[in-house]
């Protein structure tokens, strides 16, 4: 991936909407940006109606002025194509570009993202404007990065209009080549669904009962591909006229369920992501770390852009709780600790009108005599002290498989239990590893890196044969693999793998499953080591696997709850239930020890410890989310305070330390860890 040179070393800024403000405020903005240490802004995200007020009529003068002003101030611009919000004149002249939901309702204008991604009219208009922008600003001294659209697919999870239906049929023809193959893949002999002509196939609109899950799954893939095609079309137009300028679009991982960002990551020059805390979640800093690690993993371990987060409250959650003093700083530096080399906010100045006027900003409604503004300026100054960290990489020790398409398939209708959800499995695993001070690299199914000694698969209901092969190879070569329940069940066509469960993973795990026994709401079952479990139980029959834990009660009393199978030089572990937090922590400690990882640091679980490394130096990040001071072994120069720590780094409650370590710390094994 190509990092934008004008965003070096570490960019700091936010989404800037000067079109909302008179010229005197725009001029004041530049002075305030300098005061806050702003080095980059995003421009033009929702300006289509201003740039092209009528078809083929363009007004760039106002944008020229802003771009020139940014250049004069030395502020880099992430310039957006405004395709996320088509102008009213376009949807009025061509109402067929408006999206239609699954219930047949047309989604109207007055908001944003009101477009069908399959509409050739919409795509043509969006590409035309992108081309004009590239022709005009390709060589502008402020331009650092192109920003195509905004949060593709975040608020429209699919269009069910006639245009989309025709495009879906074409997509299916390209995928399957003929109706016989489609009918076989979709299992259309069930419920008499067999198709004899392409025009019989529809998008999966609301029906009396659940629509064929294979059809639903393909429609999700199709929708992802249509949004990606929109992005590609604009990107290609930009690169035609500005070939040296990197291109991105802002992801929303992991909150956007219906976009497969693994498929998108290779299409951008720079991975960028938006993240917003769930304000009422008391442990929301853990989900923040998950999002940051997933963003870095999409960037294949490289630097990435935190394109949006908030200085304080957002405007769209049920209760928009403001961030506590110091929380914005911890949030920002956590993203940086986990690989972000740009820290950007939505938004620069709080809007006085519109749907997001209660969304926080770098310059809040109260102006510069506010705590938020003072914290923004302090953060900007501190990021300026961290230039040498730019380009260093995060050191991860545990892999976690993440798969959007398995998520799609798992949460359709008629599954064994509504309590089995994808995010619950992944987030619980991640949170437990986070509290043990492990650093996570997320892994794409079928693309398993050999360097990670431990790989956890919290949930993989959909498991393609090639994924099973990749997991087996990982274990044969010495890896330690832990697989969660209800994994390996169906293939990419939503067809159950032949033979007993767990299907594609049966031989690797060395067991079969006779029957699933989902538990009643609130029901718990005891496990042999003294832990409790809930949600799920199943009748496991070990073949080559050895039994480690058993169910001590419930429908599968006496049956295996945890097994281990030796394959080649490695081990494949299987967990047949959802243990309580203590049980999950104990299990992850066991497999970490099997993988040769050092024992967890003896530090409170609300203290975050991450390392970024480069050939020149190692950087220890300690972020204390707790209410008591924390002491971490280590020595070196604290880049934020100038303090040189001897042997230990003490971080006050709510504080952050970023230490250039005196020497590269040795890599401990389980045997020689203290």
Name the active-site residue from 52, 151, 287, 608: 151
User: Which residue in the block uniquely carries the two structure tokens 């929380």?
Assistant: 327
CA dist 160 and 169 (Å) reads: 12
Q: Are strands 40-43 and 11-16 parallel, antiparallel or unpaired?
A: parallel
C-alpha closest to that of 12 among 379, 390, 392: 379
151 is catalytic: yes
Spell out a b/e string for 592-604, using b for 16 or more CB atoms within 10 Å of the CB, else e. bbbbbbbebbebe
CA dist 217 and 202 (Å) reads: 13
C-alpha closest to that of 463 among 507, 398, 433: 507
Q: Are strands 247-248 and 143-148 parallel, antiparallel or unpaired?
A: parallel
Residue by residue, DSSP assigns 36-53 as HT--EEEE-TT-HHHH-S
CB within 8 Å of 236: residues ≥ 6 apart: none
Q: Is the peptide bond before 9 cis (omega within 30 degrees of 0)?
A: yes
Q: Is the peptide bond before 140 cis (omega within 30 degrees of 0)?
A: no
Residue 619's alpha-carbon distances to 399, 447, 595, 653, in angstroms, are: 21, 28, 25, 20
CA dist 437 and 434 (Å) reads: 5
Name the active-site residue from 308, 441, 494, 608: 308
Encoded tokens for 640: 């934020």
In DSSP terms, which residues pair with 80 in a beta bridge?
147
650 is catalytic: no
In DSSP terms, which residues pair with 622 in a beta bridge?
609, 657
Residue 520's alpha-carbon distances to 146, 247, 528, 531, 538, in angstroms, are: 51, 49, 20, 18, 13
Catalytic residue numbers, as ranges = 151, 308
């Amino acid at each position: 991936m190509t990092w934008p040179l004008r965003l070096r070393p570490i960019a700091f800024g936010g989404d800037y909407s000067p079109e909302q403000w008179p010229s005197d405020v725009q001029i004041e903005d530049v002075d305030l940006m300098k005061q806050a240490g702003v080095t980059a802004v995003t421009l033009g995200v929702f300006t289509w109606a201003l740039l092209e007020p009528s078809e083929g009529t363009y007004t760039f003068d106002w944008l020229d002025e802003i771009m020139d002003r940014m250049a004069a101030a030395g502020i880099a611009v992430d310039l957006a194509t405004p395709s996320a919000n088509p102008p009213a004149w376009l949807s009025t002249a061509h109402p067929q570009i408006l999206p239609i939901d699954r219930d047949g309702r047309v989604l109207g204008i007055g908001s944003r993202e009101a477009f069908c991604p399959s509409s050739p009219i919409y795509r043509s208009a969006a590409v035309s404007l992108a081309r004009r922008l590239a022709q005009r600003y390709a060589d502008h001294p402020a331009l650092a990065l192109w920003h195509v659209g905004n949060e593709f697919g975040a608020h429209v999870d699919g269009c069910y209009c006639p245009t989309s239906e025709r495009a879906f049929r074409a997509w299916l023809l390209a995928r399957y080549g003929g109706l016989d193959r489609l009918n076989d893949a979709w299992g259309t002999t069930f419920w008499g669904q067999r198709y004899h002509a392409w025009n019989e196939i529809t998008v999966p609109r609301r029906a009396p009962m659940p629509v064929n899950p294979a059809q639903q799954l393909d429609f999700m893939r199709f929708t992802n591909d249509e949004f990606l095609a929109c992005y590609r079309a604009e990107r290609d137009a930009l690169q035609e006229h500005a070939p040296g300028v990197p291109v991105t679009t802002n992801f929303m991982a992991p909150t956007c369920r219906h976009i497969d960002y693994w498929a998108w990551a290779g299409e951008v020059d720079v991975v960028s992501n938006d993240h917003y805390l769930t304000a009422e979640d008391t442990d929301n800093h853990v989900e923040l770390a998950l999002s940051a690690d997933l963003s870095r993993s999409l960037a294949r371990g490289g630097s990435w852009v935190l394109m949006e987060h908030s200085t304080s409250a957002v405007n769209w959650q049920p209760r928009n709780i403001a961030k506590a003093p110091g929380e914005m700083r911890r949030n920002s530096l956590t993203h940086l600790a986990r690989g972000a080399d740009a820290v950007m906010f939505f938004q620069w100045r709080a809007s006085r009108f519109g749907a997001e006027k209660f969304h926080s900003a770098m310059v809040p409604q109260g102006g510069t005599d506010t705590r938020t503004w003072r914290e923004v300026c302090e953060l900007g100054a501190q990021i300026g002290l961290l230039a040498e960290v730019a380009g260093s990489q995060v050191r991860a020790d545990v892999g976690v498989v993440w798969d959007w398409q398995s998520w799609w398939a798992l949460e359709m209708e008629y599954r064994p239990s509504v309590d089995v959800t994808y995010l619950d499995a992944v987030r619980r695993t991640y949170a437990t590893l986070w509290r043990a001070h492990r650093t996570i690299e997320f892994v794409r199914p079928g693309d398993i890196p050999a360097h990670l000694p431990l790989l956890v698969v919290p949930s993989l209901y959909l498991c393609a044969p090639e994924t099973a092969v990749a997991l087996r190879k990982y274990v044969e070569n010495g890896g330690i693999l832990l697989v969660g329940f209800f994994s390996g069940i169906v293939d990419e066509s939503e067809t159950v793998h032949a033979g007993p469960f767990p299907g594609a993973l049966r031989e690797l795990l060395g067991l079969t499953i006779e029957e699933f026994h989902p538990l009643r709401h609130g029901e718990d079952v005891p496990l042999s080591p003294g832990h409790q479990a809930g949600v799920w139980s199943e009748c496991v029959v070990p073949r080559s696997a050895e039994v480690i834990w058993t169910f001590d009660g419930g429908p599968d009393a006496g049956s295996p709850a945890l097994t281990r199978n030796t394959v080649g030089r490695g081990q494949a572990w299987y967990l047949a239930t959802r243990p309580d937090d203590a049980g999950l922590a104990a299990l992850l400690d066991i497999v970490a020890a099997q993988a040769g990882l050092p024992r967890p640091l003896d530090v409170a679980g609300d203290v975050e410890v991450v390392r970024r490394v480069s050939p020149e130096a190692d950087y220890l990040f300690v972020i204390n989310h707790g209410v008591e001071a924390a002491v971490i072994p280590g020595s070196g120069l604290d880049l934020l305070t100038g303090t040189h720590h001897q042997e230990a780094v003490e971080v006050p409650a709510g504080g952050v330390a970023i230490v250039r370590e005196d020497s590269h710390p040795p890599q401990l094994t389980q045997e020689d860890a203290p």
